Amino acid sequence: MIKPATRSLAAILFLTGASAVNAQKAASPADLPFIGSVSAADPRAEAAGMAMLKRGGSATDAAIATMLALTVVEPQSSGIGGGGFLVRGAADGSVETVDGRETAPMGATPDWFLNADGSVPPFMDSVLSGLSVGVPGNIALAAEAHARHGTLPWAVLFEPAIELARDGFPINVRLAQSLTQSRDRAAANEGGRALFYDDQGRPLPAGTLVRNPELARTFEAIAKGGREVFYRGPIASAIAETVASETPRPDPMTQADIAAYQAKVRDGVCGSYRGYRVCGMGPPSSGGVAVLQILGQLERFDLAALGLGNPVTWHLFLESQRLAYADRELYIADSDFVSVPVDGLLDRAYLAERSALISPDRTMDEARPGMPRGAQNALADGDEPEERGTSHIAAVDAAGTMISYTSTVEGAFGSGLTANGFYLNNELTDFSRSPTIDGKPVANRVEPGKRPRSSMAPTVVFDPEGRPVLAVGAAGGSTIPVTTVRAIIGVIDFGLSSRQALALPFTMAFGDSVLVEEGSWLERRIPALQALGHTDISVREAPIKAGAIKREGTIWEAARDPRLEDVLLIPRATPLP
């Protein structure tokens, strides 16, 4: 299963710091036709997407191939054992979204996570069990998107991922760190231990070549038989049996739960910001609404005139976050189960009312939820934990179609349970484990067949002339909408390139507390932020990674978060004799 890494093409790309996208750009004469571009958190996954574009595939094809490859090389963040959201923005301005969020099994009731006495157990007790696993949605999402907008044969999309799983991939620094830091999940069962740990239980070091033949066989079966092979038959049986064996409840996930899963085509949410049209994912994701609220509440302030280095610019950004997240906590959930006042939350008059609470020279005493049109006032704020996992994919094809696709298993290595060569998600812990608070029902409580609220914010942007200009999104749990807005503001207000926008300092308001990215130039502005009323400021590493593709004239520039550069390296290993 494991051996020292040979100098494969993928390893050479890592060692040189090159990506498939940048290599194509550098080697292609300017007069050659544009075939497309891909951004992903791992260059090998980017290469899988670019391979589809080089064969004449669509952005949809490229994004799916990238997701499949990430299942192999970035198992800590995403994959076919999880779910995601996909936003498609076409050159004609049309927008389509596909919801592949995981679902609770039909046996999951509001007291799903509670102890017999009604108390809430320690969080990791819930995570490291079958209780946390939702029915995976990524394969259904991929099949739905491909049926609508794929141009290459379905089986072709699996070829790069099959090769990576069958022939092996070298562990990079980032995965090696995750195997150490998240050992409780990565090594939770025999499947994970056999792949990524040695006989003494030590995590394999960076540079080790890992083969995953079981995952290769799984991919081959789905490539040949389509989505139904995943949701019915031996693959589904293995998932159900694995989850049921670790579920301390009488009604665990069943094969019927898996067979019933459907990806859903939903209406996207769109708004305007300084003449640009910004579109994202609606419920059960909170990300699209939060992005549009933060931007809408900031629009009355001339950020460009204030300047990128002005602490007031960042103060305004923090205050707008506080208001948007107060609304999100109370109102956003699966709209198939709860009435979500999306139109009211994005109404321009409501956003103006909320924006009026923001002052450029002081902080709000308390950021409370508003009362948008259509809101229910009988709901409570739940006890959802901080989300952590996830990976973002952006792709653009020769027609100018943009795909923004965020995929996740929730926490690092999800639940730690494995089946068929991949990790299973822990997305159900994105529900509020407490179904009621002070006697009021929580919108994001567990219910049979329900999809937990998400922070994912895959976004596409059109310029004032209606032309596609930006596909952007992020990973990092609850930080995702903030990271996404930060990039959009960087592009629109300050004219930054995609890479420059992703490199901006990160800061986020968590209620009345503020995080400022350690080592960033914004850290030097903390005294000024404190003078504006942000007194509870912590400084630490930013828990984020983002990706974007931006149109610069006739060229599309792809970028991944520069924070990933060092951890994507693969140390040189002794070649095989």
235 token code pair: 């693959």
Residue range 269-295: mean pLDDT, rounded: 98
| Model confidence at 338: pLDDT above 70 | yes
Q: Catalytic site residues?
A: 390
Average pLDDT score, the chain? 91
**Please, which residues have CB within 8 angstroms of residue 211's CB and are 6 or more apart in sequence?**
1, 2, 165, 166, 167, 168
d(CA 60, CA 39): 13
Q: What's the pLDDT at 432?
A: 93
- The Cα-based distances of 392 to 74, 241, 443, 522 in angstroms read 11, 30, 27, 25
Residue range 26-36: mean pLDDT, rounded: 63
Q: What angle do CA 133, 137, 142 make, to 5 degrees?
A: 155
**Please, which residues have CB within 8 angstroms of residue 465's CB and are 6 or more apart in sequence?**
none
DSSP tag of 477: G
Question: Could you read off the pLDDT of 55-105 as tens digits, one per residue?
Answer: 999 999 999 999 999 999 999 999 999 999 999 999 999 999 999 999 999
65 token code pair: 């191939």
Q: What's the pLDDT at 388?
A: 55
- The Cα-based distances of 438 to 116, 377, 380, 430, 435 in angstroms read 19, 14, 8, 20, 10
| Model confidence at 7: pLDDT above 90 | no
Question: Could you read off the pLDDT of 530-562 as tens digits, one per residue?
Answer: 999 999 999 999 988 999 999 998 889 999 999
The pTM assigned to this predicted structure is: 0.92
